[in-house]
Each structure stands twice: as C-alpha cells, then as structure tokens.
C-alpha cells in the first residue's frame, strides 16, 4: 500500500501519520489485510477488535485537526491475550474451561489508548503464560517451527507485519525468547517499571510487562508510553523516567560491556555462539570496552526459578486446583501447576535467599561494567512437536534450554532486551541479549541501538506465504 | 519423587492433591528435573542471606494499596 514506509516501524510511521501523508485507517487496513493473508497459517491472533476501524477513523480525524497525541497516535498495536481489555475477551489461552476474566482495561491497555494507539487485537499466549512454544502459533520465518513463548503470538504478529508492535509478558523469558526466535526486539524493563495491573498473574515476583517491536527505537517509545508508578500494582515503583528515545544515538565509545563466560556460554548451538561472538567483536570495534567475567552462583539458579515459578503458579491457580478445573488445562500446564504444590516452603524461601545473593553478585559486577551481553537463547527456533534438539553435541530438552539464559534476569529484576544479531544456517533468527543494572534501561537501549544501527538484521523480513 | 508409593506418596497428600495413580505417576516423572535442580540449590549455604521477597505489612495503608 502506498504511503507506508518499508520499515513499518513506529519510528518511520509516526512522522508520516502526523504529517497526514498516511492515514491511520489505511495503515490499519494494511495490517488487517496481512492478518487475512497470513494468520491462517501463523495463528498469532486469537481475536481482532471489532471497533479498531472506528478507532482508526477517530485517530484520523484528530490528526487532521492537528491534535497529535504522540508517536503512538494511529499505530496498530496488539496485546497478548493475558492483558485485560474492556472491549475484547481475555482468555489467557484457556477459553471455555470455566474461568472468566473481567472486561476491564489493564493499565497498559489504558495507557496505549490514551496515547492514541489502535488496539488491533489479542495475540496468542502459551496457556497462562506457562511455556515456550505457544501452540498453535507458528514462526513466520519457517511455519514448521515454533515462535517461542509464552508471548509467541505477539512476536509472530510483529515479525509478520500484522501489527506494528505488540505487548507481551515475561516471567522467565517470555518476551525475549519469542523475540529472539522470531527476529524482533523484545524488552523486559526493570521489575516495577511497567505496571502489571490487569495482566493475568503467573508468578507475582517474576512477572514483567513489556513490548515486542521491529526496532530498538520503537521499544524505547513504548517503554516511555508505559512507565510510571501505579498503586494498583504492588510491585510498581516510583522512579524518575528519562526520555530514552532522545538518548539512543549517544555513542557507546568507552561504555563497559561485560560478558559472563560461564552459564551464558556453557552450551549453545554453534550458529548462536558464532553470531553472538561476532556481535561482541563489533561492539568492541565500536569503542566499547569488553570485560569477561564469571558468576559461579548461576550454576544454582534453575532450582530457584523452578521453586518460585512453580509455587507461585500453584498459588495463583489454587481455586482451579481445588475445583478440578485444572483437568481442563493443557496437559503440560496442568502438570506444572500441580507440581507447584510439591515445592516446600523451605525451598521457596531458599530460592528467595538465592535471589538476594544473585542480585548482590550482579551489583558487584555492575561496579565494573555498564551492561552485560550474551545470547538470548542457546538455540534457534526448533521444529514443532520436537521435545529435544542437539545443542553443542548433546541432546537437550528444548523447554529446559529455551529459558536458561533469560531467567537469571527475572530472578534479579534487571532490565534485559533481545535484539536480532544474525541468522543460523537454516535461516532462523538469533538474538543478542543485553542486560543492565536496575533502572538503567538507558544503557541497555543505547547499546542495542548502536548495534542495530551498524547492522541490517532488523531490515530482513520473512518470506510469508498465504495459507 | 522417584517412587509412586511409600513416603513420597504422602507428599501428594500433604500437598492437598487428590490425584489418580496415573496423574501421580505423570507428575512424579515430570518433577524429577525439578527435584534435581532443587537438590543443587539446597547445597548452597545461604544462612545469613535474607530472602529477596519484600515483607510489607503496611501495604493496605499506602495510597491505592491493596491488601
């Protein structure tokens, strides 16, 4: 459609929408056309908003009248199906099993509407955000492969251009994993930065809300639209907000980049390892100072994330456990929820003690570095219904491997972002993960933007075919 | 959770799970990986480290706070 910039980013679209060179109605129609063409195969959406066209027309009227609300005005954005909305049902991937969620707007939905965004629909989540495959959604880069999860629908929808951006949630990596596997940007800001009010809980102390976008600047724009103290979320924090979008172009010369050589590089597919090592070399060539370090405590982290996530999930689903509704959950999710009852209180609290120690160790590291980089996932998108794949010469469960490099930053609450950094031999996207000290999203976004600007990975688009 | 009888079965009962033998077996199998990871965590001595969770009995009294 004429008038739509090839990049299809907020960064590129906002100026042409504001200038009247493109109508929000035409932009929305283009997204809906792509949904009609491709979503039969990708299954990224579970619902489309009936009145999105009305909203786009209203945005058009406002823009014509010169009432520009900001860079999200007229931008089609999708929400993961665990964000409550007053105008669309929310199912958390579990429709028709006897659980009803309120028809009210989540904090994020409210903020996006206020910013003039067009909420185009709801994207598929792995049921209750508890898994990394998001069936039956498929990966736009290869429809026989998974999109990752649990925000797999959001990542697939953004990668396929069916919306300009989307929101996801991240408890152990659920924004960054699908972002990595689908070749888009995924940002989990510091715990407490973005209110989770109205997002179906999975694990209260690990859950984060955040954006999936086509470029780093768009992630910064959405972050800016969503941050702020919200007393409705007990985890929300009242901290100063910087205009991250204005600082993206600051050079990274002299910035100190840490590389944790244990855990994050213990066992990765060769294509992932090569792409990430190349990215680290490129960051060094751009003037960053690279410092290798080791964090032995990471060897103990899996038990901690298991204990907290399983126990929290069982607590949240207690009513479903009592009433037998779990029998209608997807089998993998049912097993996880039931297992949560077996985690002892002592193990749960030990996990929380571990978390404290890990956060302290990272704080020590951040005396010497400004950000930490590494792979987002040790593997690229794997074929659907494949329980295990070869990683570094050994067969490994894809579920165990997929969150290994992301969950440490849920335990510590640090901001972390995945940005595309290449493709493997099969043409599957690879993600570079950049993490920062709490509330220093600026450093994370600067490094990601500097890397993205010097490479054209984000310009690549999947060759989509209609169903 | 290596067996589906004996002392471990009481673990299901303590946890308040009223399950069929088939479900118990499925959960026991799935829980092995969790148990292995928890055993690794238990090896750490964290005696002097307080838990990360924040205890906030004042929460209901904060503006907009919920109990």
Q: What is the pLDDT of residue A242?
A: 87
pLDDT tens-digit series, residues A128-138: 999 999 999 99
Q: What is the pLDDT of residue A157?
A: 98
Q: What is the pLDDT of residue B53?
A: 78
Residue pair A343/A307 in contact by the 8 Å Cβ criterion: yes
Residues 272-301, chain A, touching B (beta carbon < 8 A): 299-300
This complex has an ipTM of: 0.86
Residue whose structure tokens are 């290994």: A404
Q: What is the pLDDT of residue B2?
A: 41
Catalytic site positions of A:
80, 150, 174
Q: What gap in Å lies between CA A393 and CA A155, rounded to an integer?
A: 29
Mean pLDDT of chain A: 96
Q: What is the pLDDT of residue B67?
A: 43
A438, two tokens: 């709490």
Is A354 touching B (CB cutoff 8 A)?
A: yes
User: Which residues in chain A have their CB less than 8 angstroms from residue B3's CB?
Assistant: none
pLDDT at A116 exceeding the cut of 80:
yes
pLDDT at B1 exceeding the cut of 70:
no
User: Measured between alpha carbons, how far is residue A117 from residues A17, A76, A77, A169, A363 in Å?
Assistant: 12, 6, 7, 19, 37
Q: What gap in Å lies between CA A159 and CA A460, rounded to an integer?
A: 10
User: E-assigned strands of A112-199?
Assistant: 118-123, 165-170, 185-188
Whole-model pTM: value is: 0.95
pLDDT at B5 exceeding the cut of 60:
no
Pairing of strands A429-436, A416-423: antiparallel
Residue pair A197/A233 in contact by the 8 Å Cβ criterion: yes
What is the sign of the dihedral through the CA atoms of B1, B5, B11 and B15?
Answer: positive
Residues 26-45, chain B, touching A (beta carbon < 8 A): 26-27, 30-31, 33-34, 37-44
Element (H, E) at A45: strand A45-48
CA distance B33 to chain A (A): 9
Residue A346 C-alpha from the chain's centroid: 31
Q: What is the pLDDT of residue A2?
A: 61
pLDDT at A353 exceeding the cut of 80:
yes
Q: For residue B55, name the pLDDT band (cuts at 50, 70, 90).
A: low
pLDDT tens-digit series, residues A406-427: 999 999 999 999 999 999 999 9
Q: Choosing among B9, B23, B33, B38, which should be mutated to test the A contact, i.e. which has the most A CBs within 10 A?
A: B38
């Amino acid at each position: 459609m004429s008038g739509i910039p090839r990049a299809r980013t907020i960064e590129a679209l906002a100026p042409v929408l504001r200038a009247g060179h493109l109508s929000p109605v035409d932009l929305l129609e283009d997204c809906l056309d792509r949904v009609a063409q491709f979503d039969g195969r990708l299954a990224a959406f579970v619902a489309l908003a009936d009145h999105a066209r009305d909203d786009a027309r209203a945005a058009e009227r406002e823009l014509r009248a010169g009432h520009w609300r900001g860079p999200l005005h007229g931008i089609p954005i999708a929400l993961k199906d665990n964000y409550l909305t007053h105008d669309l049902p929310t199912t958390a991937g579990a429709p028709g099993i006897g659980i009803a969620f309120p028809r009210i707007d989540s904090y994020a939905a409210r903020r996006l509407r206020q910013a003039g965004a067009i909420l185009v629909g709801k994207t598929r989540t792995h049921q209750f955000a508890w898994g990394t495959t998001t069936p039956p959604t498929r990966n736009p880069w290869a429809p026989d492969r998974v999109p990752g999860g649990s925000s797999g629908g959001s990542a697939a929808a953004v990668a396929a251009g069916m919306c300009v951006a989307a929101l996801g949630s991240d408890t152990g990596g659920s924004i960054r994993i699908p972002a990595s596997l689908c070749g888009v940007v995924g940002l989990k800001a510091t715990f407490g930065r973005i209110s989770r009010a109205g997002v179906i809980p999975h694990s209260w102390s690990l859950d984060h809300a955040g954006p999936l976008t086509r470029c780093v600047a768009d992630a910064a724009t959405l972050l800016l639209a969503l941050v702020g103290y919200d007393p409705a979320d007990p985890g929300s924090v009242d901290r100063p907000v910087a205009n991250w979008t204005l600082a993206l172009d600051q050079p990274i010369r002299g910035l100190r980049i840490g590389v944790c050589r244990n855990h994050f590089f213990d066992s990765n597919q060769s294509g992932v390892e090569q792409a990430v090592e190349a990215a680290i070399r490129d960051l060094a060539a751009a003037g960053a100072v690279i410092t290798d370090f080791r964090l032995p405590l990471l060897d103990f982290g899996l038990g901690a994330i298991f204990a907290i996530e399983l126990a929290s999930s069982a607590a949240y689903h207690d009513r479903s456990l009592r009433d037998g509704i779990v029998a209608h959950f997807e089998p993998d999710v049912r097993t996880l929820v039931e297992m949560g009852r077996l985690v002892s209180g002592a193990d749960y609290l030990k996990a929380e003690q571990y978390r404290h120690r890990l956060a302290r160790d990272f704080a020590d590291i951040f005396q010497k570095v400004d950000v930490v980089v590494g792979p987002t996932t040790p593997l690229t998108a794997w074929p659907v219904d494949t329980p295990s794949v070869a990683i570094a010469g050994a067969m490994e469960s894809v579920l165990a491997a997929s969150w290994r490099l992301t969950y440490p930053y849920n335990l510590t609450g640090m901001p972390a972002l995945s940005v595309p950094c290449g493709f493997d031999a099969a043409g599957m996207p690879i993600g570079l993960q950049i993490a920062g000290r709490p509330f220093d999203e600026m450093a994370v976004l600067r490094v990601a933007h500097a890397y993205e600007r010097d490479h054209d990975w984000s310009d690549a688009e999947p060759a989509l075919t209609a169903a | 959770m290596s067996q589906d009888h004996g002392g471990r079965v009481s673990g299901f009962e303590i946890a308040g799970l009223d399950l069929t033998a088939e479900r118990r077996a499925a959960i026991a199998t799935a829980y092995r990986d969790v148990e292995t990871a928890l055993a690794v965590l238990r090896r750490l001595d964290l005696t002097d480290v307080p838990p990360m969770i924040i205890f906030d009995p004042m929460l209901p009294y904060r503006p907009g706070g919920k109990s």
